[in-house]
Chain A
Amino acid sequence: MKNAIIIMQRELRSYFTSTIAYTVAAFFLFICGYLFFSVLAATQEASLRYMLHNAAVTMLLIAPALTMRLVAEERRSGTIELLMTAPVTDTQVVIGKYLGSLVFFLSMLVLSLQYPIILMRLGSPEMGPMFTGFLGMFLLGAAFLAIGLVASSLTKNQIVAAIGAFAVMLLLWIVQWAAGPTATGWLPEVLRQLSVLGRFDNFVKGVVDTRDLVFFASLIGFCLFLSVRALAAVKAR
């Protein structure tokens, strides 16, 4: 764990000196702000539901942008050779890098807490859905960052990593449309199960379902496992 923390700290340092990371954070906060005020003006409702629902789309761009560099850039520049010949395990490398991206994302999310705070000053919003909405946003982001990390571990090219991650996320995003809300049978059911958007919406509505928590946790776990395997494959080449 100590090694993972050391790697995480290096990743964070790298984010905080990178223009991409600042651009991404600014973009996220701008979109959130825009959605917040336009939704508020239109509905006059003390709720973050619509804002969160729409802001989630930005994760499709943010997660690839934050993760594409993680492993791909080390493979391109060769720094991975020094990282992997240091006395750290592949798992520690993967966890460290993942935590780096997660903590950066979390700090973006913390900055966006200004909107619920404004809302609390303006009116009396329901606290429950607001809290679970942000939890959902965090889990969605965490899952997408894990997918981005896998993509980044599979290539030396950041752009390929970003596009690959985006494609997978988009697929998980729209998969329930193919199923439709009412169709029966095993395939629509599986597709509905895979839909991250449906599960995210539950959180926004204020519903915390254990199955949703388990889904996100397993998706993250599976992605981290794949990343470790991808890294080990670099060695065995």
Chain B
Amino acid sequence: MIQVEKLTKYYGEYAAIEDVSFAVEKGEIVGFLGPNAAGKTTTMRILTGFLQPTSGKARVAGYDVVTQSLDARRRTGYLPENVPLYDDMTPRHYLRFAARINGVEGRQVNKRVEEVMEATGVTDHADVLISKLSKGYRQRVGIAQALIHNPDVLVLDEPTVGLDPNQIQEIRQLIKGLAGDHTIILSTHILREVEMLCERVVIIREGHVAAMDTPENLARSRAGAQQVKLVVRGPEREVQAKLAALPGVLRVQTAHSADGVVELEVEGEQKRDVRETLAAAVVSNGWGLQHLSEARVDLERIFREITLEEKGVAA
């Protein structure tokens, strides 16, 4: 749905992004993660047609954002950073304008406006001037206008910044509910947000893509192995020996053992998921499987590692 190839943008002499490539499949939610000034907003502005790239290509919903800009824009909903809105309008009037300008058919306009206001929860503030709305409601109106023409692709630049914890929760629920029907790319500094919402992460640093994968794979590749926690009812030694011999299992360690119940920590090869192999082995040996889970991914640490890796590594 979104293809970005070697995208580069110079502001004068300064390269805000350089050779950025990634792709987003239909129906996916992808997180665009990076520290300040990494180039997230710049990339999104190019995707939405607000900025011209210096070089490289980007396609949205099959349309080139430079040469077929209008077609691409018709299929894109955009929530810019800081949510710029006309302060002298009410949400209802503003959304009617947004609907018409985005090509919603005349007879559908009012219906569509009511629908998105309902979906984003702005109905009760529909006739208050936008200048009088709280940050959270502005954000909702911003998301409402992005949705108004039911676009294939949603580009959301820091959709939850500046909101209180309850509002953050509500907006995240809202975004999550939009996945599937829409392909979503959202930028954020917040790792929890990526873990909760996104199927894949693109980590960008100083204008370059530093990493790109699912949050789990990213963690695995960083740790060098998959970490699985296992609780089995069975003889400790035998369990440990048999599991260690399984294909893909690197190491098995007993963390705790009592009353015939063993708690184990297993390391598996990063390329394959050993969870099912483990489960099958436990069951076929007639032991009791009480618990099996992949150890919690510490994205926070990974993000710091990836974004702080100095140029020394690359040079």
Contact surface of A with B, Cβ cutoff 8 Å: 3, 6-7, 9-10, 13-14, 17-18, 77-89, 235-237
Residues of chain A within 8 A (CB-CB) of B87 are 77
Given the known inter-chain contacts A81-B50, A82-B145, A235-B52, please indicate yes or no for A89 contacting B70, CB distance below 8 A: yes
Interface size of B in residues (CB-CB distance below 8 Å): 29
Q: A81-B78, A82-B85, A237-B11 are in contact. List 12 more A-B contacts (CB 8 A).
A: A13-B89, A13-B93, A14-B86, A77-B87, A81-B45, A83-B101, A85-B49, A85-B50, A85-B78, A87-B73, A88-B101, A236-B52
Q: Which of A13, A77, A84, A237 contacts B49 (CB 8 A)?
A: A84
A-B contact pairs, 7 of them (CB 8 A): A78-B84, A81-B45, A82-B85, A86-B73, A86-B98, A86-B101, A87-B71
Residues in A neighbouring B45, C-beta threshold 8 A: 81
> Which residues of chain B have C-beta atoms less than 8 A from A14's C-beta?
86, 88-89
- Closest CB of chain A to B32's CB: distance in Å? 17
- Closest-by-CB residue of A relative to B83 is A78
A237 proximity list for chain B (CB < 8 A): 11, 51
Q: Are A82 and B78 in contact (CB under 8 A)?
A: yes
Within the complex, the shortest CB–CB distance from A119 to chain B, in Å, comes to 38
B97 at the interface (CB under 8 A from A): yes
Given that A13-B89, A14-B88 are contacting pairs, would A85 and B70 also be in contact in the complex, using a CB cutoff of 8 Å?
no
Contact B101 A79, beta carbon cutoff 8 Å: no
Contacting residues, chain A, for B85 (C-beta < 8 A): 79, 82
Q: In the complex, how many angstroms separate the beta carbon of A189 from the nearest chain B beta carbon?
A: 42
B100 within 8 A of partner (CB)? yes
Question: Given that A6-B100, A89-B70 are known contacts, is A84 also in contact with B84, CB under 8 Å in the complex?
Answer: no
Q: What's the Cα separation between A32 and B45 when bound, in Å? A: 48
Q: How far, in Å, is B116 (CB) from chain A's closest CB?
A: 15
Q: Which A residues touch B11, using CB under 8 A?
A: 237
- Nearest residue in B to A78 (C-beta to C-beta)? B84
Could you say which residues of chain A place their CB within 8 Å of the CB of B172?
none
Docked pose: A154 CA to B226 CA in angstroms? 56
Contact yes or no, B76 A85, CB < 8 A: yes
Assembly CA distance A18 to B89 (angstroms) = 11
Q: Is there an interface contact between B80 and A78, defined as CB atoms closer than 8 Å?
A: yes
Q: Which residues of chain B have C-beta atoms less than 8 A from A83's C-beta?
A: 101
A80 to B84, CA, bound (A): 8
* B74 part of interface (Cβ distance < 8 Å): yes
Enumerate B54-90 residues with CB–CB distance to A below 8 Å: 70-71, 73-74, 76, 78, 80, 82, 84-89
